[in-house]
Structure 1
Amino acid sequence: MTMNKLNCLLLALALVGCSSEKSSEGSKPDAFEFSYTIDTVQVDPGDHFIYLQQNLGSSDITPDGKYLLNFNAKTIEMEIVDLDELKLSSVVKLEQEGPNGIGTSPYFGAYRALSTDEFMFASQNKVIKMDLTTNQATYYSFKRSDLSPDALAANEELKNGGLLSSDGSIFYSWYGIQEKPYENHGLAKIDLGSLEVKVIPIPQMDKLDQFTIEVAMSDGTGMRGKFGENITLLELEDKIIIQQSAFNEFWVLDKATLEVTVKANKSNLTENVKAGNFANKVTSQDAFKEARNARDKEVSFGNLILDSERNMIWRISSDFDHMDGEKMVRNYYLTFFDLDLNQLGEYQLENWMMAGKPFIKDGDFYQFLNLEDDMAFVRLKPNFGND
């Protein structure tokens, strides 16, 4: 075992047995009792090297929670991990070209595992549904000529990223101005059966501009770009929840009416909005690094994770604690919401770390951990007093 791997393992093992009896200071005082323990589990890859370069960003959990399907963009394979046995179950080789190919640039913005046999990919202009047992592909094209007339303005286009519905029938794609690839104005609801498109403006997204760092290098390289807040989508039965990392609030899209409302939250453990004390425009690498470091010291609200067993939503947020040399140490906070997005309780976590895509299985919270190029998970086992 290398020294780096040993250090990672010692850090992970230091979490085992940690518990918290903290009560919620920013919500209903008698919502529920909460404590937890933490351990670390590792996946046996056999003789295969599991693809971890995207921190499981190209993966999804099957609806029964038993398998993780991880798309390997390097080898064009689907890696199927048995989460009950914590081992690699199988690897399915996918076609890159031909009538069932996924394309020569297989990088997608949304993924959905319908089962261990069916997996969906979505990019800027197409969705692919793969039958992993037969390697047969079904394609849905989003070329402008294929979409319903006047769905988008002449200068608008669909962007990469979004959300595939749980039944695989709808794709909620980001859209925006063609000349501004880093800006999204809203969502386009695309029916994959009819290719009918309904455009859903989200004016609240303009509020995020104040926290965006625009890069325009003056060193002759011509490098340009924008680095904004993290935005994710969670599907509930009758709504889509838009979660962003700058404000302690949800933007709620009603699936039936396509109207967007704001659900504000209040925390007593963190600030409720980023302060924005960093430069919004930079022209050098040093200035960009300084701005990123300053922004990283401010509060950040994490992804929403559905706990369907308890009919709750989990969210882990963080803020700055101190610097340990050049390493930034952050505080982490776990907040629970009911399915109407009412806050139930918030708790500070001890000895926590964030490292990739989380999910809930059998009532436990799994946080991906890259253990020196091996797949592992930090597992938080909650106790709500009435479990």
Structure 2
Amino acid sequence: MRLLLAVALFLVIFSCASKDEKKQTVSDQIRVSLDTVLVDSGDEFLYLQDHLYYSGLFNDKSYLINFNRQDFTTEKIDLDELRLLEKVQFEKEGPNGVTNAVPYVSHFSNWSDENILIWDYFMYKIFDQKGHLVKDLALDKIAPEFLGTDEYYAGAFFQVENNSDRLIVFIFHWESGSRLILDFDLKEQTFEKIELPELEKLRGFNVNLLFEGSPAGSYGPSASAIIVNEQIIISNTAFNEMLIFDLEKDSLYTKYWNTHLLADKKSYVPPKEVERTSGQLKEIIRKTEEDVNYRSFFWDEKNERVFRFSDRMHFGEELNGYGDFISTGADIFLSVFDEDLNLIAEAQIPELTKLPLKYFTKDGNIWMYENINDELAFVIMKVEDI
């Protein structure tokens, strides 16, 4: 095994607006229409407790597979006919077992050839839709210092088109808060580590949590990644920007925005540390969520454009059972980018009063998960021509 340090080989380019430029002006005219559809599950009850968090889209988004973490079954849902097709029992343990270090499934995603990727610490396995093990990627053996330990968290996996041996993994280091990309060559069983220094500034919004003076975790902004046209696009909740890793050019560059609606970054900077038992944390969380949060980018392949939701939440004084303030609604914003990742429109969407828990594009529209009386539904938002 060899580790190839590739940081010096990458061209870092900072494009679009500098942080000192005036606010950018883009179209604020976005017209949408909403329609709600229900999924026919027959006599079956669908698993909605995780809000489709453990699900993947398959076959050009014609169907969705949802994983039930309670009984280890999958639910195959036809999105064209809006009905449950089948349930399949997976094995918890054994040769086809989907668990490893912990007795539950932590991550579930679609894979090539209509297969499924299930991963956790020390386990990175591909299964077919009937629950049979297809392949153990054994990434914990190729990169034990990153994926053979619980010090790093693998957040996303990306296959590279026309190169089945190349695999990109976006990871997070728990202690330092650093994010990295691991670029694997599965044939050669090697990888390159790619540093992401542009994301180090997220630490400025982190709160170190203490319990009786000792470290007890942290609270702060998150980052996520998608793949679009051979580019890994990384977003974060604190800054109005995208960090792009171009897979063809092996280059890193950042695009920034500073708009009238969403500014260039969050305005609220929390204290550096707080005692968990002091009661301050719930106030910090409220102020953080009342400030703008820039959510993940997502790709509309039909119209070749990128969407992003952002939100500012509202709260009353009522607390939930965990002692946190209960949200009373939110201002939801939609940003639209063209295929070259240029911002072309941005507006508040008054028809939406809360951030969808799960959403994706299909047939040029935005599908948003909804639970209606314990039945699976989708609110389909059509974005008119911009």
Same topology, TM > 0.5 = yes
Matched, 1:255 2:247: yes
Residue 384 of structure 1, CA deviation: 0.7
2:313–2:327 CA contact under 8 A, matched in 1:
no
The one-letter amino acid paired with 2:304 is N
Q: What amino acid sits opposite 1:357 in the alignment?
A: K
Q: How many residues align?
A: 351
Change (3 A) 1:44 1:126: same
Q: Is the 1:121–1:127 contact (alpha carbons within 8 Å) kept by the matching residues of 2?
A: yes
> Equivalences for 1:309-348 in 2 at 5 Å?
309-320=302-313, 323=316, 327-348=327-348
Cα 1:230–1:290 shift into 2, 3 Å: same
1:39 to 1:280, Cα distance in 2 relative to 1, 3 A: farther
Range with greater deviation from structure 2 (159-168 or 191-200): 159-168
CA spacing shift, 1:66–1:112, aligned 2, 3 Å: same
Q: 1:377 aligned to 2:378?
A: yes
**Could you report, residue by residue, the CA deviation over 1:196-251 in whole angstroms, capped at 9, with x for unpaired residues?**
211010011211112122222229xx782222223111101221000111100001
Closer/same/farther in 2, CA of residues 138 and 351 from structure 1, 3 Å limit: same
CA contact (8 A) 2:117 2:127 kept: yes
Q: Contact 1:321–1:329 at 8 Å: present in 2 too? A: yes
Q: 1:79 to 1:157 in 2, by over 3 A?
A: same
1:275 equivalenced with 2:267 (yes/no) = yes
The 3-state SS of whatever aligns with 1:209 is: helix
Shift in CA distance, 73/157, structure 1 to aligned 2, threshold 3 Å: same
Residue number in structure 1 paired with 2:288 = 295
- Any gaps of 5 or more consecutive residues in structure 1? 1-24
Q: Which AA in structure 2 matches 1:147?
A: I
In structure 2, the residue matched to 1:72 is 68
Q: Deviations over 1:302-344 (max 9, x none)?
A: 1111001111001111125675875343211111101221001
Q: 1:37 to 1:253 in 2, by over 3 A?
A: same
Pairs within 5 Å for 1:177-196: 180-181=174-175, 183-196=177-190
Q: How does 1:1-387 map to 2 (within 5 A)?
A: 27-29=25-27, 34-104=30-100, 105-109=103-107, 111-114=109-112, 117-133=114-130, 135-143=132-140, 146-147=141-142, 158-165=152-159, 169-175=165-171, 180-181=174-175, 183-218=177-212, 224-285=216-277, 286-320=279-313, 323=316, 327-352=327-352, 353-384=354-385
1:259 maps to a residue whose letter is S
Q: How far is the alpha carbon of 1:277 from its aligned partner?
A: 3.6
After alignment, is 343-352 or 325-334 more displaced?
Answer: 325-334
The CA distance in 2 between the partners of 1:156 and 1:249, in whole Å, is: 29
Query: Per the alignment, do residues 224 and 163 of structure 1 end up closer, same or farther by CA in structure 2, a change over 3 Å counting?
Result: same
> Using the alignment, how far apart are the partners of 1:28 and 1:294 within structure 2?
28
Q: In the alignment, residue 256 of structure 2 is paired with which amino acid?
A: A
What one-letter code is carried by the residue in structure 2 that aligns with 1:44?
D
Q: Which has the larger strand fraction? A: 2
The Cα shift of 1:120 comes to 1.4
The more displaced of 134-143 and 311-320 is: 134-143
Would the aligned equivalents of 1:110 and 1:123 in 2 still touch at CA under 8 Å? no
User: Does the 8 A contact of 1:248 with 1:265 survive in 2?
Assistant: yes
The offset of 1:126, in angstroms, is 3.0
- Tell me if structure 2 keeps the 8 A contact 1:253–1:260: yes
Q: Alignment partner of 1:78: what SS?
A: strand
- Return the alpha-carbon distance in structure 2 between the equivalents of residues 306 and 232 of structure 1: 14
Gaps of 5+ in 2: 1-22, 319-325
Q: Distance in 2 between matches of 1:299 and 1:250?
A: 16
**Alpha-carbon distance in structure 2 between the residues aligned to 1:214 and 1:47:** 48
Q: Which SS does the other structure have where 1:95 is aligned? A: coil
Task: Tell me which moved more, 182-191 or 340-349.
Answer: 182-191
The RMSD of aligned alpha carbons is 3.0
TM-score (norm 1): 0.81
Rate the CA distance shift 1:324–1:70 in 2: closer, same or farther, 3 A.
Answer: same
Contact 1:71 1:77 in 2 (8 A): yes
CA–CA separation in structure 2 for the residues paired with 1:321 and 1:78: 36
Q: CA 1:376–1:192 in 2, change beyond 3 Å: closer, same or farther?
A: farther
The one-letter code matched in structure 1 to 2:125 is I
CA distance in 2 between partners of 1:305 and 1:34 (Å): 17
Q: SS at the partner of 1:302?
A: strand
